[in-house]
Amino acid sequence: MAQINLSPPSMPDGKKKIAVMTSGGDSPGMNGTVRAVVRQTIASGCVAFAVYEGYQGLVDGGDMIKHMSWEDVRGWLSEGGTLIGTARCAAFRERPGRLQAANNMIEKGIDALVICGGDGSLTGADKFRDEWPGLMDELVAKGLRSKEDVAPHQHLNIVGLVGSIDNDLSSTDATIGCYSSLGRICQMVDYIDATALSHQRAFVIEVMGRHCGWLALMAGVSCGADFVFIPENPPSENWEEEMCSIVKRHRAMGKRKTIVIVCEGAQDRKLNHITGKMVNDLLATRIGLDTRITTLGHVQRGGPPCAYDRMLSTLQGVEAVKAVLEATPETPSPVICIVENKIVRKDLMQAIQLTQQVAKDIAARDFEAAMKGRDAEFEEYWKAFNITTATDKSDMLLPPEKRMRVGIIHVGAPAGGMNAATRAAVAYCLTKGHSPIALHNGFPGLCRHHDDKPLGSVREIKWIDAEQWASRGGSEIGTNRGLPSGDLKTTAFCFGKYQIDALFMVGGFEAFTAVSELRKAREQYDAFKIPMVVLPATVSNNVPGTEYSVGSDTCLNALIEYCDAIRQSASASRRRVFVVETQGGASGYIATIAGLSIGALAVYTPEEGIHLNMLVEDIKFLKEQFAKDVGHARSGKIILRNEKASKTYTTEIIANIILEESGGRFDARYAVPGHVQQGGTPSPMDRVRAVRFGVKSLQHIEAYAGKTRKEIADDPLSAAIIGVRGSKVKFSPMERIEREETDWKDRRPKNEFWMNLIDIVDTLSGRPKACRTP
Ligand code: ATP
């Protein structure tokens, strides 16, 4: 065995010593994990270590296992890759390597290891834990450690976090890094779109994913690709014909560009590899398209993490430390997962077995099982993608008596993803034989022109009209804050006149209010006894009945980009604090999640308000922080203040008070990003969820086809809101949500799931509890 350090181990001083490492391929968000683990460890009264260069660092020991201080991880949230390094380590695959690693851990007195990596890294970690007692015996038997040395370390605690751009671990909806990578892919495809459109070209885009098609599928859904190749569900035996016929049909319907996404691990049903070149040649020779291949390569791994990855890595890092502290020798090693909106612990080895099972299913050509083996969303996205690209699947058409005229309307301020939802709804309608009718410019738009001949305010949307909308921001059919109560009678008249059989509404709190008004007016107007669904879309994420609104992720990304730039300026000028005003209406969601994602010093929300004592304590805290920062880079600080947090303490006043009270020790400025937060191009997460929820909404609406108006009115779910609730996507009846869950005065849900996340922002910035005391 190579060099083993024979110096005596540091004796445990009663404090748990928790080490964090990153392993396998790097992914954006890994630094957020390290920061969260280090700070949560210290905040819990334990000692934090980081293992540099993955398992290689563990095997090499010495300086590779470093004690970490609070300041060491300052500013790490916004950095891409992994600052503690990662490596593939052959030595750790063998027992002698693991024995050396164990010895190095005893040396530092480490009790627990938090590993952020892919399934290989996590498998290695579990094996290490399994072997640990034997490794201890071996160290003693070989005379490398005394019995006393190993006595306090009879058990090793392991917690896994999944860091991977591929999103290939079954059991979790998202791995740390996958949405950043998807963001990069979509940005590139959006750029390619422009040139493809100009020249009417076809582009074959090769994306990463040797065994998992998540990136390819999601890129297809969010960019409106024509065809996607993924390993889990290869196209038909005659895939060449299948792809060409879809592309030709899209072209015949007026599409000027073609985008085909090919996953690295693409294959046919006999497991023969399908390459980008093969697809390129087919498009060029069989259809005669001017075709180019673009291989995105390592840009997919790089760059700063998106808002979601920063939040996910932070929350999961915090949860990992909690799991370490709660673990007993009997607890199986957990992996920290996310299911819809809920952070959960699952059995690490079960998750890995499920993941490996997918690979086995693919190898055995059991593609149905492979699709099911991925998380539940995966199959839904696959179906949604197929429905939005299929245009003449006559086998999917409903009988004429089941076909509906579906009114589609946008209400309230624009939000990223509104158009993607509408595009999906239009494509769904056309595939099933319904008529998608755009009600332009909201309810005022509908009512304004009802006497005239059609002026374009009510129009059937064609597939090609909506086809370009997947990645567009704003609202293509126009949105308006006006409510039906502005003119219920005319609204009902228009519903009758245009034979609207169902209503799909996209928007924020106004849309929610609009459906509520229509539902209540059903007693007076039969025209409203139709199925209605509201798909929440607002940057504020303040719609009751859901924990997530389409558009909020776009807003968060715009905000963190803005804050990153501001922080850079604040750090460059040293000792400066910025007070940044966020949108969000009377909901502090955006401020809080952005606070988590940028590592804000504090967040001020309307729910808690701003009090003089908070400012006094925060200024005290700022003084302490700047005093500690001497010599540290990245010393800019940000406080996020929601626009409605206080009528008295405006953003400017707070900055002025801080400046006045700083006694010249630091500078304070304020910044208002304003409508930048509505974002330009919607984020991929908003786009894909818009598509998924759009399709689900239409399926919900469709279930009412053929029912009488009375039957519809009697069913509480005929006026519903679709939303994420904990670990589920659900339809909830408007009537109940309005009555039980809505704070009508402040236009937000009564219980906001994210409120306790303010504690995490504070814990990770080190802000004392006194700062929150009014
Ligand atoms: P990615 O998803 O990026 O491939 P990964 O964690 O799956 O990440 P691997 O290369 O499979 O990447 O594993 C990373 C390291 O984990 C390996 O170099 C090795 O040191 C360790 N490792 C992987 N599998 C095992 C195993 N079965 N036993 C012990 N160690 C392992």
As a whole number of angstroms, the distance between CA 546 and CA 749 comes to: 9
Confidence tier at 599 by pLDDT (50, 70, 90): very high
Is residue 164 marked as binding?
yes
Q: What is the pLDDT of residue 575?
A: 83
Cα–ligand 1 centroid distance for 98 (angstroms): 13
Task: Say yes or no to pLDDT of 116 above 70.
Answer: yes
Task: Say yes or no to pLDDT of 689 above 80.
Answer: yes
Cα–ligand 1 centroid distance for 90 (angstroms): 9
Helices (H), 573-683: 589-598, 612-628, 651-661
Cα–ligand 1 centroid distance for 321 (angstroms): 22
- Choose which residue among 21, 22, 23 to substitute to test ligand 1 binding: the one with the highest number of ligand atoms within 8 A of its C-beta: 23
Q: What is the pLDDT of residue 9?
A: 40
Q: In the structure, which protein residues have their CB atom closer than 6 angstroms to any atom of ligand 1?
A: 23-25, 55, 88-89, 92-93, 117-121, 123-124, 127, 164
Cα–ligand 1 centroid distance for 242 (angstroms): 38
The first and second tokens of residue 97, run together, are: 């390597």
Q: Please, which residues bridge with residue 504 across strands?
A: 408, 533
pLDDT tens digits along 236-245: 889 999 999 9
As a whole number of angstroms, the distance between CA 509 and CA 543 comes to: 5
Residue showing tokens 């740390």: 176
Cα–ligand 1 centroid distance for 260 (angstroms): 31
Is residue 541 marked as binding?
yes
Cα–ligand 1 centroid distance for 24 (angstroms): 6
Which residue's alpha carbon is nearest to atom 11 within ligand 1?
120
Confidence tier at 4 by pLDDT (50, 70, 90): very low
Task: Say yes or no to pLDDT of 2 above 60.
Answer: no
Q: Report phi then psi at 342, rounded to 5.
A: -115, 130
The first and second tokens of residue 322, run together, are: 């909690």
pLDDT tens digits along 465-511: 998 899 999 999 999 999 999 999 999 999 999 999 999 999 999 99
CB 164 within 8 Å of CB 178:
yes
Which residue's alpha carbon is nearest to atom 26 within ligand 1?
124
Q: What is the pLDDT of residue 248?
A: 94
Is residue 105 marked as binding?
no
* Angle formed at CA 416 by CA 412 and CA 418, multiple of 5 degrees: 60
Burial of 680 (0-12, 13-18, 19+ CB in 10 A): exposed
Cα–ligand 1 centroid distance for 118 (angstroms): 7
pLDDT tens digits along 184-204: 999 999 999 888 888 889 999
Is residue 567 marked as binding?
no
Catalytic residues: 166
Is residue 405 marked as binding?
no
For residue 27, which atom of ligand 1 is closest to its CA?
3
Which residue's alpha carbon is nearest to atom 23 within ligand 1?
120
pLDDT tens digits along 367-390: 999 999 987 789 999 999 998 887
Where is average pLDDT lowest: 625-639, 649-663, 702-716? 625-639
Is residue 267 marked as binding?
no
For residue 122, which atom of ligand 1 is closest to its CA?
6
Is residue 416 marked as binding?
no
Which residue's alpha carbon is nearest to atom 31 within ligand 1?
124
Give the pLDDT mean for 696-711.
97
More confident of the two residues 252 and 629: 252
Contacts of 143 (CB under 8 A, 6+ apart): none
Contacts of 441 (CB under 8 A, 6+ apart): 448, 457, 477, 478, 479, 480
Task: Say yes or no to pLDDT of 450 above 70.
Answer: no
Confidence tier at 456 by pLDDT (50, 70, 90): low
Cα–ligand 1 centroid distance for 292 (angstroms): 35
Q: Is 673 helix (H, G, I), strand (E, B) or coil?
A: coil
- Choose which residue among 21, 93, 130, 352 to substitute to test ligand 1 binding: the one with the highest number of ligand atoms within 8 A of its C-beta: 93
Is residue 630 marked as binding?
no
Radius of gyration of the chain (CA): 28
Count of residues making up the chain: 774
Task: Say yes or no to pLDDT of 295 above 90.
Answer: yes
Q: What is the pLDDT of residue 340?
A: 85
Which residue's alpha carbon is nearest to atom 2 within ligand 1?
118
Q: What is the pLDDT of residue 353?
A: 94
Q: What is the pLDDT of residue 291?
A: 94
Query: pTM, whole model, 2 decimals?
Result: 0.94
Confidence tier at 7 by pLDDT (50, 70, 90): very low
Where is average pLDDT lowest: 191-195, 354-358, 542-546? 191-195
pLDDT tens digits along 413-437: 999 999 999 999 999 999 999 999 9
Q: What is the pLDDT of residue 193?
A: 87
User: In the chain, what percentage of residues exceed pLDDT 90?
Assistant: 84
CA distances from 23 to 85, 303, 608, 745 (A): 8, 18, 40, 49
Cα–ligand 1 centroid distance for 300 (angstroms): 20
Residue showing tokens 């399709």: 695
Give the pLDDT mean for 87-92.
95
For residue 166, which atom of ligand 1 is closest to its CA?
2
Which residue's alpha carbon is nearest to atom 18 within ligand 1?
88
As a whole number of angstroms, the distance between CA 677 and CA 113 comes to: 38
Confidence tier at 54 by pLDDT (50, 70, 90): very high
For residue 88, which atom of ligand 1 is closest to its CA?
18
Where is average pLDDT lowest: 105-114, 123-132, 175-184, 633-642? 633-642
Residue showing tokens 């029912």: 707
Confidence tier at 308 by pLDDT (50, 70, 90): very high
Q: What is the pLDDT of residue 12?
A: 45
Listing DSSP states for 405-456 in one string gives EEEEEEESS--TTHHHHHHHHHHHHHHHT-EEEEETTHHHHHHHTTTSSP-S
Cα–ligand 1 centroid distance for 88 (angstroms): 7
Is residue 120 marked as binding?
yes
As a whole number of angstroms, the distance between CA 762 and CA 57 comes to: 32
ipTM above 0.90, yes or no: yes
As a whole number of angstroms, the distance between CA 669 and CA 667 comes to: 7
Where is average pLDDT lowest: 43-47, 456-460, 529-533? 456-460
Is residue 429 marked as binding?
no
Cα–ligand 1 centroid distance for 352 (angstroms): 12
How many CB atoms are closer than 10 A to CB 402? 13
Which residue's alpha carbon is nearest to atom 9 within ligand 1?
120
More confident of the two residues 329 and 535: 535
For residue 91, which atom of ligand 1 is closest to its CA?
20
Is residue 211 marked as binding?
no
User: In the chain, what percentage of residues exceed pLDDT 70?
Assistant: 95
For residue 164, which atom of ligand 1 is closest to its CA?
2
pLDDT tens digits along 557-587: 999 999 999 888 777 767 889 999 999 999 9
Give the pLDDT mean for 333-344.
93
